[in-house]
Amino acid sequence: MDNPRPEKVAVVDEVRTRLEGASATVVTEYRGLTVADLAALRKSLAAAGGDYKVFKNTLVKRAIDGGPHAPLEELLAGPTAIAFVKGDVNAVAKALRDFSRTHSRLVVKGGMLDGALVSPAQLGALADLPPREVLLARLAGGIQAPLAQLASLLQALPRGLAYGLKALVDERGGGAGGEPGDVPAPPGSETPVAAAPETEPDAETPVAAAPETEPAAAEDGEAG
């Protein structure tokens, strides 16, 4: 009968909880590192947003069995320690790379990010990227200039539009291209133009009455 089984169950639950709460995980082999080396590595990883823990492979396999982190099983060989990432995975990958440069016995075996396995080479590429804050700052700086130009354009647009509308009103109000009734007719030369159509029907009245007088004259002649 396995007496320490409750402790193993607690460790399995701890591994599962840490995996679920991490945004990424990195599996390493620490064979040959001293206690002082591991303490220094934990400190550098903590500053980068990573939590470094040593677990037995059998317990980790139980924790990931049948779950979304099951692909990590192929990395579980030899003395294993896992870096649980709670911050910027780029910063954690960089901390591991920098430490391995001075402690060659630390081996980065791979990890898991966004539900997929990542290789040591991919983690090395992530380590070469600037921190997330720097990337966001660069992105914001690249967007800021076009946004400032757009804001200036939007601010100037109403003034330009107002000037254009005023010029259009002035042009139409001057009588060159305006339609009658579009704008109030100013006093002056436009008044006779607007009154001209009212006098034309009166001029046509004698023309319409002329045929009525001519037959009368002819009848008077016949009567005489």
Return the pLDDT at 63. Answer: 95
Residue 106 scores a pLDDT above 50: yes
Provide the residue ranges of all domains of the chain, joining segments of one domain with +: 5-133
168-205: per-residue pLDDT in tens? 556 666 544 444 444 444 444 444 444 444 544 444 44
- Provide CB contacts within 8 A for 111, sequence distance 6+: 24, 25, 26, 27, 72, 75, 83, 117, 118, 123
**What residues does 25 pair with on adjacent strands?**
84, 112
Distance CA 198, CA 200 (A): 6
Q: Could you give the angle at the alpha carbon of 26 between the alpha carbons of 22 and 29, nearest 5°?
A: 140
Average per-residue pLDDT for the chain: 75
Class of domain 5-133: alpha beta
Nearest to residue 118, comparing CAs of 48, 71, 68, 58?
Answer: 71
pTM of the predicted protein model: 0.58
114-129: per-residue pLDDT in tens? 899 999 999 999 998 8
Whether 93 contacts 127, CB under 8 Å: yes
Return the pLDDT at 184. Answer: 47
Read off the DSSP letter of residue 103.
-
Whether 99 contacts 26, CB under 8 Å: no
- Provide CB contacts within 8 A for 59, sequence distance 6+: 8, 11, 12, 15
Return the pLDDT at 128. Answer: 87
Return the pLDDT at 132. Answer: 61
Reported as a pLDDT band with limits 50, 70 and 90, residue 6 is: confident
Place of tokens 């430490």: 99
